[in-house]
Chains A and B, each alone.
Chain A
Amino acid sequence: MTESSRTTSARKRVVVVGSGMAATRLVEELVGRGATTDMDITVLGDEPVAPYNRILLSAVLEGTHRPEALTLRSEEWYAEHDIDLRLGARVLEIERDLKDVMLVDGTIIEYDALVLATGSIPTLPPIRGLVRMDGSLHESVHAFRSLGDCERLVDAVDATNGSGEKVNRRAVVVGGGLLGLQVARALGARGIDTEIVEGGEHLLHQQIGTAAGKILARDLKKLGVAVYTGARAVRLSDATDGPGTGLSGSVKVPDPLPRNPGRVALRLDNGFTLDTDLVVLTAGGRPSTALARGAGLEVKRGIVVDDRLASVTDPDIHAIGDCAQHNGRTTGFVPPAWEQAGVLAAVLCEEPAKYDGHRMVARLRATDLDVAVLGDPEQEVLNGGEVVEMSNPVRGSHRKLVVRDGRIVAGALVGDLNRIGLITQHYDRQTVLGPTEPGDLLLVERSAQPVQLPDDAEICNCAGVTVGAIKACSSFEDAREKTRATTGCGGCASTVRQLLASRSSLTPEGIK
């Protein structure tokens, strides 16, 4: 191919590296704008399956979601829209000067615009024994990032021995963040005895305060999930019987369950050792930036992008989602990634658009655990936000809103999500509230008080009949006949009966 053919190509060639939530959304947005009429889009996904909804993996684990319902777009959909979807395609390197990428199989793909939506990769906590000598994960250890990870864990949970008994009965989840809690709850729901190990002082320590964290830990305990906070796992070894395993001075947590020959021991830095069959790592991820680094793009925590989501080093390369760093921040959530995808689609279609940050709502996705976090409560308090909060440890709820200039700028709700839909609407739309409103939002709605109806109150809207008119009737049939009450929608029938009954009980001698 000659240099001139590269530059005179009439159709813009957009190559998207990644096929996760951000990449899929970008392609949808481009299709929605009709961009495929003058754009050639290639999507390179390194997973072997069509793009799926990663954030529902814990629901699949819990068994409330069929894995098939995760598929975001089928391969046929890509074909229908003339998008070149290549699955199992790993990019080896980006050649910025030639504006192409090379796959591991040697295929070279040219681009006019390159989009990196490479997401994040789970970080391995510094636990000795996690990785075997050959570099592979210990067989009892599970990551939880991809559908493949999820399926492997489901298989482990379902595995039975020759006599049909479950092989794996215990699990330790490393990491007490949103994902960790969801996974722990899901394993618990599947009958696995589950414990959580969290290095921070309380659960969800990046999102919520101490009081809320304690309530959450108590909720989990009720659901049969034990929580170890302020503790780090430091060593994984094959479990052996009793003490004297070389973990001198450790506290052994008694294990009443039948033994699994593959059982491992996870030692914590607080001296506890947890015997377990499965270890699930949920403790964070880091932006996947190796390709960008290799290409000489500026990378800090993530790939540094400007308001048009273009690399600050190369305007023809964009980054969105978990791998991107905008305004000093990386995110690990879908909503900002989607917002970026929308903005980038406009940018690629040469429409005026810029990304100026996002509003975050994190919701725990687990049965019987009610948590919602809006924005960054701790930071917004530092920024001068005022805190309106209501704590009810008796009921197990802690609700906090951070308010600035009448607007809800952050919040954390644990144990009681009453009015969550309205609170997030106010937060998302930055509605200016009255002074009593944030407090009112946290109060439980009062149910209507039964009232004594005055005689001029209308009780049959259909026919326009008052209480007095009903009381003047001798019977239900009489009321129907005389007033036509109850003959329209019939909604007042029970009230009419009550009124007539109360009337006759007041004047017993009147009814002979």
Chain B
Amino acid sequence: MDVMTETRTHCPYCSLQCGMSLQRSGRAGIEVREWAEFPVNEGGLCRKGWTAGELRGSRERLTTPMVKDRETGELRAAGWDEALDLIADRVRGLQADHGKDAVAVFGGGGLTNEKAYQLGKFARVALGTSQIDYNGRWCMSSAASAGNQAFGVDRGLPFPLEDIEQADVVVLVGSNMAETMPPAARYLDRLRERGGQLVVIDPRLTATGERADLFLQPVPGTDLALALGVLHLLDAQGAIDEDYVAERTTGFDAVRTSVAAWWPERVERVTGVSTFELRELITMLTGAEKVMVLTARGAEQHAQGTATVLAWINVALALGMPGKSYSGYGCLTGQGNGQGGREHGQKSDQLPGYRMIDDPAAREHVAGVWGVAPESLPGKGRSAYELLDSLGDGGGAKALLVFGSNIVVSAPRATHVTQRLESLDLLVVCDIVMSETAALADVVLPITQWAEETGTMTNLEGRVILRQQAVAPPEGVRSDLDVISGLAERLGSPVPFSTEPEEIFDELGRASAGGKADYSGITYDRILAEQGVFWPCPAADGTPHPGTPRMFADSFATPDGRARFLVQEFGGAAEQPDASYPLHLTTGRVLAQYQSGAQTRRITSLPDQGAFVEMHPMLAARIGAHDGDPVVVRTRRGEMKAPAKVVTTIRPDTVFVPFHWVGANRLTNDALDPSSRMPEFKVCAADVVV
């Protein structure tokens, strides 16, 4: 008889990292139960969370390494040693012929902190390559870049999520929280029950927008202009918190004059948001003491994503909010470990602890922890899209090792990127199922999924939480940590790579010590005892550091302790509609699916109706489409066919396609943000025909 064991852990999907309890059921199954005491979701889960256990025991789980015969294109089962030997041999050969950078690594924002850390170390120490980046570039990197520039540090939310309900006005820019992280919407409801007001800015009226006291529906790609117009009107009405601006910030004068040309009628013409709606927003903002501005992918996934976030940060700063209780600016991170994944070294320009790789002091510290010479560490590599664009025929790396990412579905301009992947000499993919990217690989390695392993994640609040192993992995499956360690050993790494999560976490803590994202005072025991610990949490002699739930109360993380106002100019979307492509195309998520759908599309109790093309009845009538009719969406980069979904909730000049299925990202634009290197997923010019 099975002993009833219950394991407290966290959901495998988004950045909310809802607490849940896993119960063994049957021989190998697991059942998801409520964990009511965990603060963020208080026992609530969305259907993705409730059904997360179903992938366990799925026939689609990979349980043996596979090696492709390049002649026939067939994948055959192989032993672990054979697969790892083969990879190591090929890597050595390619590096001998073409240099260290001939091998690249691509990580993911869903990997645990321990994996992300090991991956960065593996690339720099075992492979000696500068070519490592991850799919988090396509998530919240614009907000990260903006946070670093304005506040000197990038923690998605500088306060716990629950602070939302205590605000007076919450402005959500480009977030569909109620569908993408449903349990978080409880805070919006409590905010409104308390008499607070919610503003939602989105080209689509979503489930989140339906909760709003004020809903603004701008033209995709114009959130920046809207922010400039808001700041201008605040200034015009004398609503700037001059004392705060003088005491806690720099750079306001230049920003102030830079928005003088954004009068309401001009904003209306650019954004499609009428002057009346704009003034309504201003009335709400000027009448509130505690204003919170939160951005998400809708505002960030643009070639001007960083500028857009900075412009909204300027609004928050001008109102005197960041650092004040229940107020300020925050980013609603997307991926499960989108926050932690960007802190510990799988980004091309970073080392653990959110240190920069071109900082000599950072290199010395981290090299010391790793036991290697600082000068042996490579420099800055290419960002995610540039790395992929350079592969094979692109003149960059000849081999790519992929961990926790389904590039074929999630990269922008996907047809082009897929061709690059196909031109590689070696593609290795670690995944739990045969994803679209794994199907292209020369070697596929079957790895553990969330319930089968232990490791920490850092949620959207900067709270470090612990996922605990609930069940043994299927036979033949190993952890990414085993893959890294096994390859490092075969490649003759100068230092060994542990496979023990807690041991790695301790090392990660030491490597992060003194950095901006300092984890050195956090232990597994403390995480369990305190329902997570907020970074920064430096190690301390004597009384332990309590962690930092709320940041910026006294100062910002800049050298002079002041936040930066930075002038932003509106340029507009990289690709504007024209006669051939007269519509805006935007992309996003639906509730029942997650990211590339590699997991959720394989869970039978989650409805999978496939992709659709959402459009307004006016547009449907124009092109002669009815609800459910197949339509073709075309852009300069590709096309896809899917049924029309006719709704009155979208702008009539815009179509929306969810990105969980192959196709959406064949359409999207690879124009990059100059600072975050974020591709412009959220808007491009398109045409739709029946």
**A binding-site residues for B, Cβ under 8 Å:** 25, 32, 52-53, 55-56, 59, 64-66, 68-74, 76-77, 335, 361, 363, 365, 417, 420-422, 424-426, 428-434, 436-437, 440-441, 445, 448, 461-464, 484, 487-491
Contacts and interface: CB of A to CB of B under 8 A. Distances in A.
B140 to A, nearest CB: 21
A245 B607 CA distance: 87
B274 interface: yes
B591 A421 contact: no
A129 B648 CA distance: 60
B186 to A, nearest CB: 5
Given A69-B235, A489-B46, A421 B622 contact: no
Interface string B641-657: 00000001001110000
Contact of B569 (A32, A73, A428, A491): A32
Nearest to A56: B263
Nearest to A364: B265
Nearest to B235: A69
Contacts of A484: 45, 50
B494 to A, nearest CB: 46
A436 B617 CA distance: 11
Given A71-B257, A72-B261, A420-B274, A431 B185 contact: no
Interface in B644-679: 648, 651-653
Contact of A462 (B46, B271, B582, B605): B46
Interface stretch (B176-184, B336-344, B367-375, B512-520): B176-184
B268 A421 contact: yes
22 contacts: A56-B236, A59-B236, A64-B237, A65-B237, A68-B235, A69-B232, A69-B235, A71-B257, A76-B254, A335-B269, A361-B269, A363-B269, A417-B274, A420-B268, A424-B269, A430-B579, A461-B47, A462-B183, A488-B44, A489-B182, A491-B185, A491-B210
B238 A66 contact: yes
B44 A490 contact: yes
Nearest to A367: B279
A429 B211 contact: no
A321 B257 CA distance: 21
B257 A77 contact: yes
A437 B622 contact: yes
B275 interface: yes
A487 B44 contact: yes
Give the interface size bracket for B toward A: 35 or more
A365 B253 CA distance: 26
A161 B605 CA distance: 80
A271 B618 CA distance: 53
B474 interface: no
A154 to B, nearest CB: 15
Interface of B: 34, 43-47, 50, 178-179, 182-186, 189, 207, 210-211, 219, 232, 235-238, 253-254, 256-257, 260-261, 263-265, 268-269, 271-276, 569, 576-577, 579, 582, 591-592, 605-607, 618, 621-623, 648, 651-653
Contacts of A59: 236, 263
Given A421-B271, A489-B46, 10 more contacts: A66-B237, A68-B235, A76-B254, A363-B275, A365-B263, A422-B653, A437-B621, A440-B618, A462-B182, A463-B47
B411 to A, nearest CB: 28
B540 to A, nearest CB: 39
A72 B273 contact: no
Contacts of B648: 445, 448
A64 B286 CA distance: 13
B677 to A, nearest CB: 22
A437 B34 CA distance: 50
A491 B207 contact: yes
Contact of B185 (A69, A72, A489): A489
B47 A422 contact: no
The 4 closest A-B pairs by CB, nearest first: A421-B272, A434-B622, A489-B182, A489-B185
Contacts of A425: 219, 272, 653
Contacts of B263: 53, 55-56, 59, 365
Contacts of A487: 34, 43-45
B268 A363 contact: yes
Contacts of A56: 236, 263
Contacts of A432: 579, 582
A70 B256 CA distance: 10
A422 B257 contact: no
Nearest to B218: A421
Contacts of A433: 622
B238 A72 contact: no
A117 to B, nearest CB: 15
Contact of B46 (A53, A66, A488): A488
Nearest to A440: B618
Contacts of A422: 272, 651-653
